[in-house]
Amino acid sequence: MRSRDLHEPLERTAHRALLHVVGVPHGDLGKPLVAIVNSWNEVVPGHIHLRALGELVKLGVREAGGIPMEFDTIALCDGLAQGHVGMGFSLPSREAIADTVEIMLEGHRFDAAVMLSSCDKIEPGHLMAALRVNIPTVMLTGGPMEGGRYKEQGEITLSTMREFAGQVKIGKLSREELTEIEKAALPGPGSCSMMGTANTMGCLIEALGMSPTGCGTMLAVDPRRPALAREAGRLVIECLRHGLTPLKIVTRQAIENAMAVDMALGGSTNSVLHLLAIAHEAGIPLTLDEFDAVARRVPHLCNVKPSGQYSVGRMDEAGGLPALMQELREFLHLDALTVTGKTLGETITGATVTNRELIRPLHDPLYPQGSLAILRGGLAPDGAVVKQTGVRFKSMLTHRGPARVFENMEEAVRAVMGDAIRPGDVVVVRYEGPKGGPGMREMHQITSIMVGMGLDEHCGLVTDGRFSGSTRGPCIGHVSPEAAEGGPIALVQDGDLIEYDIPNRRLDLLVAADELARRRVAWRPPKRELKGILARYARLAESASRGAILREPIGW
């Protein structure tokens, strides 16, 4: 075991003394040292219950003969970071989390790890670290929040909360009633209750085989979750005994399983960024075109917000992720391994769908294709991503309109709130990509206001930034190359015609080539004063088409 480096040689006398100080008696020094990689804090609603779950994981580790040692990683709440400069730090935090977990696991020679997380960048950050270090690891995601309720509003999620601002703007809702809704909308701990990025990634981690069966959709407050946490602690010791490491689980077959599940779930567009980054850490080549190929085969089955009617917790009542994967059997590699020691096929045996309104059969899907589509064309030579199932008005699956160009999200928000956007316009928000933002902020503030005001019936939005998993409407993001790298989106001017055709996977700028060449000669990237992590991220971030991973030095 790796932990022998800390205590076995005679000259490690100082190491043994240090371990004694933190509660490891000399008689236990031969036992497996298990990292409990928690991400609890008092800021993130999705993480406020993880401290208690961590204690139960430690109990399970001790029962199985291991020594648990807990540390916390940073965790950013994307909901609180929305709509201001803080969102620029969200995606970079994924790499920071992966780096710091790697440092802790390697620096202290842990033999195995259980990782607890619930929210957007923490889940993929933990998994990326697990793949780098490749010690036996079980991921315990914290589970979704219950949906909120207020009078006739029905089930409320964070995505509908943001749209209420647009309703106040057009007079459909009073400010006083909005305040009352705010008090009732989020009833307890857990990741936001729609199929946003957090719950998408929780489900995909289970589909990849890295978390216990049922973990992805089980509510944060479900009475079964404490037992699941304790089981995760026991399970990681079994993985250690059998040499079952992340790289044996996260194979190409597992990645393909996750993509299929993603399309059936109605998953977040951010899942594309994260699966590309996860595949990179696992040494598995993966391209945007592979996502689109899966989307053309696998239909959208889950009637879950924001693309459907219900919260993720309701999906769990209908059978959860195991039941969905049972429905998708023909699209899955059932022999893929999981942390349970069983194959994926074995873990879903006996799972059944109990509510066909929530999980539809293959022959009667919500949408005949998967939730996400990859677009290419003159405006996005390297690709762009759209949640096609989130387009409420099917007339907006194709559109041609004049561009309204904004250099950042704040400019676009002011224009929308000032009634400066006209029906038919295509709102273009640029210099929001990985390098240009920097940090590739989510454009959810602008999209939610547009939906709340009804503009998504007549207007599209195109950006080199990204979107919240709760975004809906004709919103095309991840446009690559981004504006900061001189991509075609940098050359768009007000009034230029933009045309997109989601069914045919096209995104084009209808401007003559010679005119674009003239504009390119005059183009200069904007200069920005950056410092700290955003300065480093702007220098090192790769394109969104590669998952916005950090460029690795050549020749090292």
Of 386, 329, 384, nearest to 353 by C-alpha is 329
**468 in Cβ contact with 436 (< 8 Å):** no
Active site residue 39: no
Active-site choice (93, 118, 159, 468) = 468
Of 492, 487, 494, 446, nearest to 466 by C-alpha is 446
Would you tell me how many other CB atoms lie within 10 Å of the CB of residue 515? 12
Angle 422-423-425 (CA atoms, 0-180°, nearest 5)? 70
Contacts of 185 by beta carbon, 8 Å cutoff, 6+ apart: 148, 150, 156, 157, 158, 161
For the chain, how far is it from start to end, CA to CA, in angstroms?
28
DSSP string over 480-537: ES-GGGT-GGGG--TT-EEEEETTTTEEEE-S-HHHHHHHHHH--PPP----HHHHHH
Residue 182: burial class (beta carbons within 10 Å; 0-12, 13-18, 19+) = middle
**198 in Cβ contact with 39 (< 8 Å):** no
**378 in Cβ contact with 411 (< 8 Å):** no
> Where do the H-state alpha helices sit in 47-185?
50-63, 78-81, 90-107, 122-133, 158-169, 175-184
Of 241, 300, 274, nearest to 97 by C-alpha is 274
Strand, coil or helix: what is 512? Answer: coil
Strand, coil or helix: what is 420? Answer: coil
Catalytic machinery residues: 468
